[in-house]
Structure 1
Amino acid sequence: MKIDGSALIAARQKLRANFPGRGEIGSPSIGTQEWLAEQAHVSIRALQYLERGEGSLSNLKKVCTALGISQWQQLIINYGEDYVSCIANRFVDFRPSIYPPENPETFANSSLLMTLDPLTLLVAKGKFETILLQEVNATLTGLAEPITYTWLAEVSLTPNGQGWLGWVKEVEPMNLLANDVPMNVPIMFKQLCVPQVSWGAFVDAVENLTTSQLNIEVCLIFQNFTKKFKVYVSVDLLKILFNEGRNKYLSPLPYRAQLKAIV
């Protein structure tokens, strides 16, 4: 069985930090492998295997009990994967990182941002109480080069949102409740590419495409597994929105584009 051995090491070393030294023969210091093996009633070899990421369910439960880890199931690699569902089936928003009306000469060269509005997450009851979502990444393909993203912020792109980017708060690892209740989080993504693709370059690239769609692969990284799904964006509809945006704002470039996601 594959497990997250690093979590066991971290918990043991946290104890050891308060009790330095190796102890004495027959009386190992708290937090050492020898001490933990004794407390858990497992062999040193079995503990070492667990910390390297392999071992039996029985030994894992014993060691977690000795370390005070109540959610021991979550240390099993891929545990609970089938209990988590993720989708983004409403809107995809593309926009420059700076506000066009106040920056008419420079917004075209600002970084392209992408938002899934919203990202819907659901964790089913029955396996655990919570599960840790560590990170969300995305890759946009269909252009000459893929654009890679990571989550930046929870946003509100409605008229009630704060500013051009609709900033609500920076996103960070979150514990999702296993309660069968969908959680909707509008997530804005920043680019990981170097150099970053500008808004103007993105608009030009889309308008020169002869293909029908762009693809977005979303990867959600949980504590011990990942979930992936795809969202598709219509190129023809993007071109229509770009043209409407130019006409609406009498601008050489549209200000933004928000369209229905295809899943």
Structure 2
Amino acid sequence: MERLQKILAGAGVASRRKCEELILGGKVQVNGETVTTLGTKADPAVDVITVGGKTIGAEKKIYIVFNKPKGVITSASDPQGRKIVTDYLKGITERLYPVGRLDYDTEGLLLLTNDGDFAHLLTHPKHHVPKTYHATVKGVPHGTELDKLKKGVMLEDGMTAPAEVEYQDIDPEQKHSTISITIYEGRNRQVRRMFDAIKHPVTKLKRISFGDLYLGNLKRGLYRHLTKEEIEGLLKQARIAGNKSAKGQADRSK
């Protein structure tokens, strides 16, 4: 059972706020009876829900992984007319939203879905779902500099959580190197800012994994649907991380 306004919004009727207005205005019926009370719950798999005489059904849940190219906006729209991720989702009619973000110049693994609960669970700060990137940076950071990232570095919005860092590739002329870095937070442009903090700015950034889900050989600009096992695996990992976080907070408060 879900709140009626959430069902309507999920089915693409309108925004949550607009759906509330439709309910208050007497435009919504459940099993033939007009509902005007916000918070009324229904089951779209069982109940017949109509809006203005038109029957709506439960929206099919979609979960996809997309290999985002550089120079694409992680958004449902862009006032400047630049390419957005949904421009690449040919064949999908449902309205999807990104799970987290990749900035304009970052490429790689991006999840998209129309399941708000799924997105919330994976992006909530307390769940600490790991995300791994390959960062090509100027020069070759010394081991002591990478140790700073492993312990956490101070940024303008506070100290970062410890990261997992290792060399991936080093240019023979030492002009650049590629570092694999796994973070457990989701701050804005965090990886770039972390490498700026150790004086090795990022020139190329690619996310290769989100939790236990890897980009693999998915080509740039293409997407695929997640399997049931992959969806369940991500949810399980987020819940486990959330439980560990809650336990850690409880232990620190003793």
Q: Is TM more than 0.5 here?
A: no
TM-score by length of 2: 0.30
Higher strand share: 1
| TM-score for both structures, normalised by structure 1 | 0.30
